[in-house]
Amino acid sequence: MIPDILSFKNTKCECGHQNPVGTVLCEACGKPISKEDQESDKLLEMRYDGMARRSQRSTPNMIDRIWNFFSSVKIAVYMIVLTLLGSMFGTIFPQESTFLNIDAATYYPETYGTAGLIYYKLGLSHTYESWWFVLLLVMIGASLVICSLDRVLPLYKALSKRKIRKHMQFLTRQKVVYQTRLDEDEEVWINNIVPALKKRGYRVHTDGSALLAEKYRFSRWGPYILHIGLIIFLLAVLARGLPGLNMDQHLAFPEGEIKPIPNTSFYLKNEKFTVEYYTEDDLPEEFKGKGKMLPKLFQTQATLYECTADCKDPSKEPQLVEVDSHPIEVNDPLNYKGLKAYQFDFDTNPILRSVTPSLIEKKTGKDIGQFKLDIRNPERTYQVGEYTLNLVEKYMDFGMNDLGEPVSISPNPNAPSFLFLIKGPNLPAEGVQYFYFPKQIDKQRFQQDIINEKLAGAYNLFELDVDGMSNVDFSMSTTYLNIRVDKVMPFVWLGSAIGMLGLVMGFYWQHRRIWIRIDEGDLTLAAHTNKNWFGIRKEITVVLQKVNMEVDEKSLDNGGNQV
């Protein structure tokens, strides 16, 4: 406060109104405050109607300085331009997030050479998650809040404090001015023009021989409402980073299987996956006969279950209750209380689900018995006739590591393999190891017979064999669904809706004010609008025509080139 007083300037206007420091035009009568401004004959600076803003304090402290920084439109424009340039750089090469699994450190140099390496090293391969980009967005958010507060309050005050009879300087230095000599009685003329203005939607206030007509003031709030919408939007987007508000996983669902959705109590079953292609008749001439396949439909008939009991207990079957069922298509996800399942991808290669092999004595070819082997969930022990098969190890995608040891190279059942320990009559008490590859192709590729001969030596007396396709169970296709929870979405839409409302208010309506004062037969008319001067000039011409004054639209223009 003290610095304010020390640097006290006379801000009292001749009309008797005491204005705050920083005021450009008197809040009441509109007369310019500063001496230089009073002597000038240039157009008035009408931004915020000449009100003082917080950011214009004469001796700013630390908080004021931060406030001033963020309240500057210039700074805001710089931040927007930086965001714009940053966004551009991010589109030079695909972002890391485009790919589901890649090693970025090798992908970029391998695909794009040196440029790719530099791109990766600069961190541009994840531009939109980088600290500087997020910081820019946060700063734009801060600027939105502070800019709006800095301007909206003074503007509100300015528009509600109004004196109808304005100072002559205020009027003649507007962008739209019309002056003429009046022959009629002043009050009669004023009364005549009132209905003409009202007909055009103006609210008219008179004070003797002075008049103020105003319409669509709400349009002035448009930008601020837009900014509120953007703030809500940005906050919602930032909140998505908080734990528990956002879930995003891509899962494979083979046809006919119920699979749990990790980190939820839900299970989803892919009842049937359908992919349809357009027939030749549907395709345009130039596609015909070229063997082009154009997909028509991807659909997963899905059923969603909720686990009600025994969910975490591996020894018990979870108890599932069906809660929803929906044919998921690309533009039509399953939605159960905010948990959404989107069609993402599919694979029509059949996947082996289970086999029912027979245990066969090699020498005699005798069939000892059958058992059903579930590829994904095999049991620990199988009893076949007098023999016991203990499962020692399972490999979903069989392969060898660098040390020559068998490993599973992926969790997908591409090349399933099982190591059993067989015990029973004619075999050593500790049992005999036996490797089993259910897929015929893997049997040959990994040389099952040779492995088993090495493992069992003289006791390689048995083998597992599948007799006919009836003992093999395939799932015909797999669908990939994107499972999502996004709790902030309502706020994203709310922010967008508010922002849109602000845009429409601000751009499709304009705040228009017309002031008239008559001094002993000298009529002065001035007008101000925040946008569309062409429109207000035209409107004034039409209104003046109603009181028999022919004025050329263009002649109302007082020069200058304000928006």
Partner 1 sequence: MKLLDFSSMFFTIAFLVYCVAFILYGVAVMGRVWRNRDPEQHMKKWGRLSFLVSTLGLVAHLIYFFTRWAGAGHIPVSNMFEFMSTLSMMIIIAFTVIFIIYRKTLLGLFAVPIAIIIMAYAAVFPQEAQPLIPSLQSWWLQVHVTMAALGESFFAIGFAAGFMYLLRTVDFNSKEKSDRRQQRGVEFTLLSIVVVIGFIASVYAFRVGGYESVFTQEQESKVSRVEYKLPPIVAPYQSKVESFQSFLGMKEPLFEAPSWMVGINAGRKLNTIIWSVLAGLILYALIRLILRKPLGRAIHPLLKGLDADDLDEITYRSIAIGFPIFTLGALIFAMMWAQIAWGRFWGWDPKEVWALITWLFYSVYLHLRLSRGWQGKKSAWLAVLGFMIVMFTLVGVNLVIAGLHSYAGTN
Q: Footprint of partner 1 on this chain (CB under 8 A)?
A: 47, 73-74, 76-77, 80-81, 83-84, 87-88, 90-92, 94-95, 97-98, 111-113, 115, 127-128, 237, 248, 278, 282-287, 294-298, 329-333, 340, 342-344, 482, 484, 486, 489, 492-493, 496, 499-500, 503-504, 507-508, 530-534, 554, 557, 561-563
Q: How far is the CB of 499 from partner 1 (least distance, A)?
A: 8
Output the CA–CA distances (angstroms, integers) from residue 228 to 160, 224, 331, 493, 509, in the order listed.
22, 6, 31, 13, 19
Instruction: Report CA dihedral (433, 437, 441, 446) to the nearest 10 degrees.
Output: -40
The answer to whether 70 and 143 are in contact (CB under 8 A) is: yes
The residue (of 113 and 201) whose beta carbon lies closer to partner 1 is 113
- For Cα atoms 36, 39, 44, give the angle at the middle one, nearest 5 degrees: 80
DSSP strand E in 417-521: where?
A: 417-423, 432-436, 462-465, 472-475, 478-486, 512-519
The residue (of 465 and 486) whose beta carbon lies closer to partner 1 is 486
The residue (of 199 and 250) whose beta carbon lies closer to partner 1 is 250
The residue (of 345 and 467) whose beta carbon lies closer to partner 1 is 345
DSSP 208-276: TTEEEEEE-GGGGGHHHHHHHHHHHHHHHHHHTTSTTSEEEEEEEEETT-EEE-TTSSEEEEEEEEEEE
- For Cα atoms 523, 524, 530, give the angle at the middle one, nearest 5 degrees: 150
Which distant-in-sequence residues (6+ apart) come within 8 Å of 41 by Cβ?
Answer: 173
The residue (of 245 and 504) whose beta carbon lies closer to partner 1 is 504
Collapsed DSSP state (helix, strand, coil) of residue 101:
coil
Q: How far is the CB of 480 from partner 1 (least distance, A)?
A: 12
The residue (of 47 and 376) whose beta carbon lies closer to partner 1 is 47
Q: How far is the CB of 377 from partner 1 (least distance, A)?
A: 29
Collapsed DSSP state (helix, strand, coil) of residue 497:
helix
Please count the other Cβ atoms lying within 10 Å of the Cβ belonging to residue 199. Answer: 11
Output the CA–CA distances (angstroms, integers) from residue 213 to 26, 29, 536, in the order listed.
19, 15, 12
The pair of structure tokens assigned to 279 is 């027939």
Question: What radius of gyration, in Å, describes the C-alpha atoms of the chain?
Answer: 40
Q: How far is the CB of 534 from partner 1 (least distance, A)?
A: 5
Q: Which helix H or strand E contains 302, and what residues bound it?
A: strand 295-309
Q: How far is the CB of 62 from partner 1 (least distance, A)?
A: 25
Rounded CA separation 554/540 (Å): 11
